[in-house]
Structure 1
Amino acid sequence: MIAALALLAAAAAPTAAPVAVAPSAPVAMAQPDAATLAAARALMKISDLQGQMKALGPSMANAAEQQMRGMFTEARMPDGLQAQMASAMKSYLDSMDRMFTPELIDQMATIYARHFTAAELNHITAMMADPVMVHFRETTPQLMGELMPAMMQAMRPHQKALQAQLMTIIRDWIQTHPEDKAKLRSPLSS
Protein backbone atom coordinates (compact mmCIF):
# COMPACT_ATOMS: atom_id res chain seq x y z
CA MET A 1 0.00 0.00 0.00
CA ILE A 2 2.80 2.40 0.84
CA ALA A 3 4.49 1.73 -2.51
CA ALA A 4 1.21 2.45 -4.31
CA LEU A 5 0.76 5.61 -2.29
CA ALA A 6 4.29 6.67 -3.15
CA LEU A 7 3.66 6.17 -6.85
CA LEU A 8 0.46 8.16 -6.62
CA ALA A 9 2.33 10.88 -4.77
CA ALA A 10 4.91 11.08 -7.49
CA ALA A 11 2.19 11.52 -10.08
CA ALA A 12 0.11 13.85 -7.94
CA ALA A 13 2.93 16.22 -6.99
CA PRO A 14 4.43 17.34 -10.30
CA THR A 15 5.47 20.70 -8.84
CA ALA A 16 7.91 19.08 -6.44
CA ALA A 17 11.53 19.24 -7.51
CA PRO A 18 12.62 15.88 -8.92
CA VAL A 19 15.01 13.96 -6.74
CA ALA A 20 17.38 11.51 -8.35
CA VAL A 21 17.41 8.34 -6.34
CA ALA A 22 19.26 5.34 -7.67
CA PRO A 23 17.05 2.25 -7.49
CA SER A 24 18.22 -0.30 -5.02
CA ALA A 25 19.12 -3.81 -6.01
CA PRO A 26 16.94 -6.47 -4.35
CA VAL A 27 18.69 -7.87 -1.30
CA ALA A 28 17.71 -11.33 -0.16
CA MET A 29 17.01 -11.19 3.56
CA ALA A 30 20.05 -9.05 4.40
CA GLN A 31 19.86 -7.14 7.64
CA PRO A 32 19.51 -3.43 6.86
CA ASP A 33 22.01 -0.90 8.15
CA ALA A 34 21.01 1.50 10.92
CA ALA A 35 20.40 4.49 8.59
CA THR A 36 18.12 2.49 6.30
CA LEU A 37 16.21 1.04 9.23
CA ALA A 38 15.78 4.54 10.72
CA ALA A 39 14.44 5.78 7.37
CA ALA A 40 12.00 2.85 7.21
CA ARG A 41 10.81 3.57 10.76
CA ALA A 42 10.18 7.19 9.78
CA LEU A 43 8.12 5.97 6.83
CA MET A 44 6.08 3.68 9.07
CA LYS A 45 5.41 6.60 11.41
CA ILE A 46 4.22 9.03 8.73
CA SER A 47 2.21 6.31 6.97
CA ASP A 48 0.13 5.71 10.11
CA LEU A 49 -0.75 2.17 9.10
CA GLN A 50 -2.53 1.62 12.40
CA GLY A 51 -4.80 4.60 11.78
CA GLN A 52 -5.33 3.56 8.16
CA MET A 53 -6.37 0.03 9.15
CA LYS A 54 -8.62 1.30 11.93
CA ALA A 55 -10.31 3.72 9.53
CA LEU A 56 -10.69 0.97 6.91
CA GLY A 57 -12.18 -1.41 9.49
CA PRO A 58 -15.84 -0.43 9.07
CA SER A 59 -15.56 -0.79 5.28
CA MET A 60 -13.98 -4.22 5.69
CA ALA A 61 -16.72 -5.22 8.12
CA ASN A 62 -19.44 -4.10 5.71
CA ALA A 63 -17.82 -6.00 2.85
CA ALA A 64 -17.53 -9.14 4.99
CA GLU A 65 -21.16 -8.81 6.06
CA GLN A 66 -22.29 -8.47 2.45
CA GLN A 67 -20.31 -11.56 1.53
CA MET A 68 -21.85 -13.48 4.45
CA ARG A 69 -25.34 -12.38 3.43
CA GLY A 70 -24.70 -13.96 0.05
CA MET A 71 -24.68 -17.34 1.81
CA PHE A 72 -28.40 -16.98 2.56
CA THR A 73 -31.42 -16.97 0.28
CA GLU A 74 -32.38 -13.51 -0.86
CA ALA A 75 -29.14 -12.31 0.81
CA ARG A 76 -31.01 -12.06 4.11
CA MET A 77 -29.20 -13.24 7.19
CA PRO A 78 -31.33 -14.22 10.22
CA ASP A 79 -31.60 -11.28 12.64
CA GLY A 80 -30.05 -13.08 15.62
CA LEU A 81 -27.15 -14.32 13.52
CA GLN A 82 -26.60 -10.87 12.03
CA ALA A 83 -26.39 -9.38 15.53
CA GLN A 84 -23.82 -11.99 16.59
CA MET A 85 -21.78 -11.40 13.44
CA ALA A 86 -21.87 -7.62 13.96
CA SER A 87 -20.72 -8.08 17.56
CA ALA A 88 -17.82 -10.32 16.51
CA MET A 89 -16.76 -7.85 13.80
CA LYS A 90 -16.91 -4.93 16.24
CA SER A 91 -14.78 -6.84 18.73
CA TYR A 92 -12.25 -7.63 16.00
CA LEU A 93 -12.11 -4.02 14.82
CA ASP A 94 -11.71 -2.79 18.39
CA SER A 95 -8.74 -5.14 18.80
CA MET A 96 -6.87 -3.66 15.82
CA ASP A 97 -5.10 -1.18 18.09
CA ARG A 98 -3.55 -4.07 19.98
CA MET A 99 -2.37 -5.74 16.76
CA PHE A 100 -0.10 -2.86 15.77
CA THR A 101 2.48 -3.39 18.47
CA PRO A 102 5.84 -1.62 18.32
CA GLU A 103 7.32 -5.03 17.49
CA LEU A 104 5.04 -5.47 14.46
CA ILE A 105 5.74 -1.95 13.22
CA ASP A 106 9.48 -2.55 13.64
CA GLN A 107 9.19 -5.85 11.78
CA MET A 108 7.38 -4.06 8.94
CA ALA A 109 10.05 -1.34 8.89
CA THR A 110 12.75 -4.00 8.64
CA ILE A 111 11.01 -5.54 5.64
CA TYR A 112 10.82 -2.16 3.89
CA ALA A 113 14.47 -1.49 4.79
CA ARG A 114 15.49 -4.71 3.04
CA HIS A 115 13.88 -3.59 -0.22
CA PHE A 116 14.68 0.13 -0.34
CA THR A 117 17.75 2.26 0.25
CA ALA A 118 17.76 4.92 2.95
CA ALA A 119 17.59 7.59 0.20
CA GLU A 120 14.54 5.93 -1.36
CA LEU A 121 12.78 5.62 1.98
CA ASN A 122 13.54 9.23 2.84
CA HIS A 123 12.16 10.28 -0.55
CA ILE A 124 8.96 8.27 -0.03
CA THR A 125 8.60 9.75 3.45
CA ALA A 126 8.96 13.26 2.04
CA MET A 127 6.28 12.49 -0.56
CA MET A 128 3.99 11.11 2.13
CA ALA A 129 4.27 14.45 3.96
CA ASP A 130 3.07 16.33 0.87
CA PRO A 131 -0.40 17.87 1.50
CA VAL A 132 -1.85 15.96 -1.47
CA MET A 133 -0.69 12.66 0.03
CA VAL A 134 -1.97 13.65 3.47
CA HIS A 135 -5.35 14.29 1.87
CA PHE A 136 -5.07 10.99 -0.05
CA ARG A 137 -4.44 9.04 3.18
CA GLU A 138 -7.29 10.82 4.96
CA THR A 139 -9.67 10.10 2.09
CA THR A 140 -8.64 6.50 1.41
CA PRO A 141 -10.90 4.88 4.05
CA GLN A 142 -13.95 6.68 2.66
CA LEU A 143 -12.94 5.82 -0.91
CA MET A 144 -12.48 2.17 0.03
CA GLY A 145 -15.90 2.16 1.65
CA GLU A 146 -17.35 3.27 -1.67
CA LEU A 147 -15.08 1.09 -3.83
CA MET A 148 -15.34 -2.18 -1.88
CA PRO A 149 -18.94 -3.03 -2.77
CA ALA A 150 -18.21 -2.55 -6.48
CA MET A 151 -15.00 -4.58 -6.23
CA MET A 152 -16.74 -7.36 -4.28
CA GLN A 153 -19.54 -7.47 -6.85
CA ALA A 154 -17.04 -7.65 -9.71
CA MET A 155 -15.03 -10.39 -7.99
CA ARG A 156 -17.99 -12.54 -6.92
CA PRO A 157 -18.40 -14.51 -10.20
CA HIS A 158 -14.66 -15.10 -10.38
CA GLN A 159 -14.54 -16.20 -6.73
CA LYS A 160 -17.32 -18.72 -7.30
CA ALA A 161 -15.56 -20.12 -10.34
CA LEU A 162 -12.26 -20.34 -8.46
CA GLN A 163 -13.94 -21.95 -5.45
CA ALA A 164 -15.58 -24.56 -7.69
CA GLN A 165 -12.26 -25.24 -9.44
CA LEU A 166 -10.44 -25.64 -6.12
CA MET A 167 -13.12 -27.96 -4.76
CA THR A 168 -12.79 -30.10 -7.90
CA ILE A 169 -9.02 -30.23 -7.48
CA ILE A 170 -9.38 -31.25 -3.82
CA ARG A 171 -12.00 -33.91 -4.60
CA ASP A 172 -9.82 -35.32 -7.38
CA TRP A 173 -6.81 -35.33 -5.06
CA ILE A 174 -8.72 -37.13 -2.32
CA GLN A 175 -9.90 -39.76 -4.81
CA THR A 176 -6.32 -40.59 -5.72
CA HIS A 177 -4.92 -39.96 -2.22
CA PRO A 178 -7.65 -41.16 0.21
CA GLU A 179 -5.20 -41.09 3.13
CA ASP A 180 -5.21 -37.29 2.90
CA LYS A 181 -8.96 -36.96 3.51
CA ALA A 182 -8.40 -37.08 7.27
CA LYS A 183 -6.10 -34.06 6.98
CA LEU A 184 -8.95 -31.80 5.82
CA ARG A 185 -10.46 -29.56 8.48
CA SER A 186 -13.89 -29.93 6.89
CA PRO A 187 -13.98 -33.32 5.21
CA LEU A 188 -15.69 -33.23 1.86
CA SER A 189 -18.98 -34.98 1.45
CA SER A 190 -18.65 -38.02 -0.79
Structure 2
Amino acid sequence: MEFLGEFLSSALNGNDALFKACIVGVGEVKMDWMSQCKHMTVHSYLNDKYSPYFGITVEEVRQLGVDEEALKHVMKWYGGYYFGDYQVFNPFSLMSWLTRGKECAIFWTGTTSTTYLPEFMKYHEKSIIMDIFTILLEGNSFEIELTSTQVNYSESNWQLKKIMNYLVLTGHLTYLYKAKAVTIPNKEVEHYWENYVMPMLRSKLL
Protein backbone atom coordinates (compact mmCIF):
# COMPACT_ATOMS: atom_id res chain seq x y z
CA MET A 1 0.00 0.00 0.00
CA GLU A 2 2.89 2.37 0.74
CA PHE A 3 4.29 1.73 -2.74
CA LEU A 4 0.90 2.37 -4.31
CA GLY A 5 0.57 5.65 -2.45
CA GLU A 6 3.99 6.83 -3.60
CA PHE A 7 3.29 5.71 -7.16
CA LEU A 8 -0.03 7.53 -7.42
CA SER A 9 1.30 10.60 -5.65
CA SER A 10 4.22 10.97 -8.07
CA ALA A 11 1.98 10.29 -11.08
CA LEU A 12 -0.84 12.65 -10.11
CA ASN A 13 0.64 15.45 -8.00
CA GLY A 14 2.70 18.13 -9.70
CA ASN A 15 2.58 16.38 -13.07
CA ASP A 16 2.50 19.17 -15.66
CA ALA A 17 1.68 16.68 -18.44
CA LEU A 18 -1.52 15.59 -16.71
CA PHE A 19 -4.79 17.52 -16.91
CA LYS A 20 -7.18 15.00 -15.38
CA ALA A 21 -7.00 11.37 -14.26
CA CYS A 22 -9.62 8.68 -13.69
CA ILE A 23 -8.93 5.88 -11.20
CA VAL A 24 -11.37 2.99 -11.46
CA GLY A 25 -11.79 0.41 -8.73
CA VAL A 26 -14.30 -1.78 -6.96
CA GLY A 27 -14.34 0.10 -3.68
CA GLU A 28 -13.30 3.35 -2.06
CA VAL A 29 -10.47 2.08 0.11
CA LYS A 30 -9.80 4.13 3.22
CA MET A 31 -6.02 4.22 3.68
CA ASP A 32 -3.54 6.79 4.96
CA TRP A 33 -1.74 6.91 1.62
CA MET A 34 -4.88 8.26 -0.07
CA SER A 35 -4.19 11.60 1.61
CA GLN A 36 -1.16 11.95 -0.68
CA CYS A 37 -3.47 12.23 -3.70
CA LYS A 38 -5.01 15.69 -3.59
CA HIS A 39 -8.37 16.88 -4.90
CA MET A 40 -9.93 13.48 -5.51
CA THR A 41 -13.67 13.16 -6.13
CA VAL A 42 -15.37 9.82 -5.58
CA HIS A 43 -18.37 8.71 -7.64
CA SER A 44 -19.99 5.61 -6.17
CA TYR A 45 -23.24 3.66 -6.33
CA LEU A 46 -24.79 6.41 -4.17
CA ASN A 47 -24.87 9.02 -6.95
CA ASP A 48 -26.01 9.24 -10.56
CA LYS A 49 -23.36 11.21 -12.43
CA TYR A 50 -21.49 8.27 -13.96
CA SER A 51 -23.93 5.53 -13.03
CA PRO A 52 -24.58 4.21 -16.58
CA TYR A 53 -20.87 3.44 -16.96
CA PHE A 54 -20.55 1.00 -14.05
CA GLY A 55 -22.02 -1.80 -16.15
CA ILE A 56 -24.06 -2.53 -19.27
CA THR A 57 -27.44 -0.78 -19.31
CA VAL A 58 -30.76 -2.24 -20.46
CA GLU A 59 -30.76 -0.04 -23.57
CA GLU A 60 -27.25 -1.17 -24.49
CA VAL A 61 -28.39 -4.79 -24.30
CA ARG A 62 -31.22 -3.97 -26.71
CA GLN A 63 -28.67 -2.44 -29.07
CA LEU A 64 -26.84 -5.79 -29.07
CA GLY A 65 -29.88 -7.32 -30.79
CA VAL A 66 -31.45 -9.00 -27.76
CA ASP A 67 -35.24 -9.21 -28.12
CA GLU A 68 -37.61 -8.23 -25.31
CA GLU A 69 -38.45 -11.77 -24.22
CA ALA A 70 -34.79 -12.75 -23.94
CA LEU A 71 -34.04 -9.42 -22.26
CA LYS A 72 -36.54 -10.09 -19.46
CA HIS A 73 -35.07 -13.54 -18.92
CA VAL A 74 -31.42 -12.48 -18.88
CA MET A 75 -32.23 -9.52 -16.64
CA LYS A 76 -33.43 -11.94 -13.96
CA TRP A 77 -30.14 -13.81 -14.19
CA TYR A 78 -27.51 -11.09 -14.58
CA GLY A 79 -29.22 -7.71 -14.16
CA GLY A 80 -30.65 -6.11 -11.05
CA TYR A 81 -27.65 -3.98 -10.09
CA TYR A 82 -28.44 -0.35 -9.34
CA PHE A 83 -26.16 2.67 -9.42
CA GLY A 84 -28.29 5.65 -8.51
CA ASP A 85 -31.42 5.27 -10.65
CA TYR A 86 -29.76 3.16 -13.35
CA GLN A 87 -30.11 -0.61 -13.56
CA VAL A 88 -27.09 -2.34 -15.09
CA PHE A 89 -26.02 -5.88 -15.91
CA ASN A 90 -22.97 -7.74 -14.69
CA PRO A 91 -20.71 -7.22 -17.76
CA PHE A 92 -18.80 -10.50 -17.42
CA SER A 93 -21.90 -12.67 -17.08
CA LEU A 94 -23.82 -10.87 -19.82
CA MET A 95 -20.98 -11.16 -22.35
CA SER A 96 -20.48 -14.81 -21.39
CA TRP A 97 -24.19 -15.40 -22.01
CA LEU A 98 -24.01 -13.71 -25.41
CA THR A 99 -20.96 -15.66 -26.56
CA ARG A 100 -22.12 -19.05 -25.29
CA GLY A 101 -25.37 -19.50 -27.13
CA LYS A 102 -27.50 -17.31 -24.85
CA GLU A 103 -27.87 -20.13 -22.33
CA CYS A 104 -28.11 -18.95 -18.73
CA ALA A 105 -25.51 -20.51 -16.44
CA ILE A 106 -23.23 -19.60 -13.56
CA PHE A 107 -20.53 -17.33 -14.99
CA TRP A 108 -19.27 -14.53 -12.72
CA THR A 109 -19.81 -16.23 -9.37
CA GLY A 110 -18.11 -19.32 -10.77
CA THR A 111 -14.83 -17.42 -11.20
CA THR A 112 -14.23 -16.91 -7.49
CA SER A 113 -13.61 -19.08 -4.46
CA THR A 114 -16.73 -20.53 -2.90
CA THR A 115 -15.33 -20.00 0.61
CA TYR A 116 -13.87 -16.49 0.74
CA LEU A 117 -17.15 -14.67 1.42
CA PRO A 118 -18.45 -17.12 4.07
CA GLU A 119 -15.04 -17.03 5.76
CA PHE A 120 -15.11 -13.23 5.79
CA MET A 121 -18.65 -13.02 7.12
CA LYS A 122 -18.28 -15.53 9.92
CA TYR A 123 -16.32 -12.96 11.95
CA HIS A 124 -18.92 -10.20 11.67
CA GLU A 125 -22.26 -10.23 13.49
CA LYS A 126 -23.08 -13.80 12.48
CA SER A 127 -26.52 -14.09 14.05
CA ILE A 128 -27.74 -10.79 12.55
CA ILE A 129 -26.42 -11.70 9.10
CA MET A 130 -28.17 -15.05 9.29
CA ASP A 131 -31.53 -13.41 9.97
CA ILE A 132 -31.04 -10.83 7.23
CA PHE A 133 -30.16 -13.28 4.51
CA THR A 134 -32.99 -15.58 5.44
CA ILE A 135 -35.21 -12.59 4.62
CA LEU A 136 -33.33 -11.78 1.41
CA LEU A 137 -33.47 -15.33 0.11
CA GLU A 138 -37.24 -15.23 0.50
CA GLY A 139 -37.24 -12.53 -2.17
CA ASN A 140 -37.55 -9.53 0.12
CA SER A 141 -35.32 -6.51 0.60
CA PHE A 142 -33.76 -5.38 3.86
CA GLU A 143 -34.18 -1.73 4.79
CA ILE A 144 -30.93 0.00 5.69
CA GLU A 145 -29.59 3.43 4.75
CA LEU A 146 -26.02 3.41 3.45
CA THR A 147 -24.31 6.80 3.43
CA SER A 148 -20.63 5.91 3.03
CA THR A 149 -18.86 3.69 0.52
CA GLN A 150 -15.45 3.63 2.20
CA VAL A 151 -13.89 0.31 3.18
CA ASN A 152 -11.32 0.12 5.96
CA TYR A 153 -9.79 -3.36 5.93
CA SER A 154 -7.74 -2.66 9.05
CA GLU A 155 -10.84 -2.71 11.27
CA SER A 156 -11.33 -6.05 12.99
CA ASN A 157 -15.05 -5.94 13.78
CA TRP A 158 -17.30 -4.37 11.17
CA GLN A 159 -20.77 -3.17 12.07
CA LEU A 160 -23.81 -4.00 9.97
CA LYS A 161 -23.70 -0.97 7.63
CA LYS A 162 -20.06 -1.59 6.77
CA ILE A 163 -20.75 -5.24 6.05
CA MET A 164 -23.65 -4.34 3.77
CA ASN A 165 -21.59 -1.70 1.97
CA TYR A 166 -18.84 -4.26 1.36
CA LEU A 167 -21.35 -6.77 -0.02
CA VAL A 168 -22.77 -4.12 -2.36
CA LEU A 169 -19.30 -3.10 -3.56
CA THR A 170 -18.34 -6.71 -4.27
CA GLY A 171 -21.53 -7.37 -6.25
CA HIS A 172 -23.15 -9.79 -3.81
CA LEU A 173 -25.93 -7.33 -3.04
CA THR A 174 -27.29 -4.20 -4.67
CA TYR A 175 -28.46 -1.01 -3.01
CA LEU A 176 -31.85 0.50 -3.85
CA TYR A 177 -31.13 4.16 -3.23
CA LYS A 178 -34.70 5.49 -3.19
CA ALA A 179 -36.02 2.60 -1.10
CA LYS A 180 -32.99 2.74 1.24
CA ALA A 181 -32.68 -1.03 1.15
CA VAL A 182 -30.40 -3.83 -0.01
CA THR A 183 -31.44 -6.88 -2.00
CA ILE A 184 -29.95 -9.82 -3.87
CA PRO A 185 -29.67 -8.58 -7.47
CA ASN A 186 -30.30 -11.67 -9.57
CA LYS A 187 -30.55 -15.46 -9.84
CA GLU A 188 -26.83 -16.01 -10.37
CA VAL A 189 -25.93 -14.29 -7.11
CA GLU A 190 -28.88 -15.91 -5.33
CA HIS A 191 -27.48 -19.30 -6.34
CA TYR A 192 -24.15 -18.38 -4.73
CA TRP A 193 -25.82 -17.38 -1.44
CA GLU A 194 -28.04 -20.45 -1.31
CA ASN A 195 -25.37 -23.01 -2.17
CA TYR A 196 -22.20 -21.67 -0.56
CA VAL A 197 -22.71 -18.83 1.91
CA MET A 198 -25.79 -19.86 3.88
CA PRO A 199 -24.73 -23.50 4.48
CA MET A 200 -21.40 -22.36 5.90
CA LEU A 201 -23.01 -19.69 8.05
CA ARG A 202 -25.43 -22.26 9.43
CA SER A 203 -22.60 -24.64 10.26
CA LYS A 204 -20.65 -21.89 12.04
CA LEU A 205 -23.66 -20.85 14.10
CA LEU A 206 -24.64 -24.34 15.22
TM-score normalized by the length of structure 1: 0.23
Higher relative contact order (CA 8 A, sep 6+): 1
Query: Under a length normalisation based on structure 2, what TM-score does the superposition of the two structures give?
Result: 0.22
Structure ranking higher in helix proportion = 1
Higher strand share: 2
Structure of greater Rg: 1
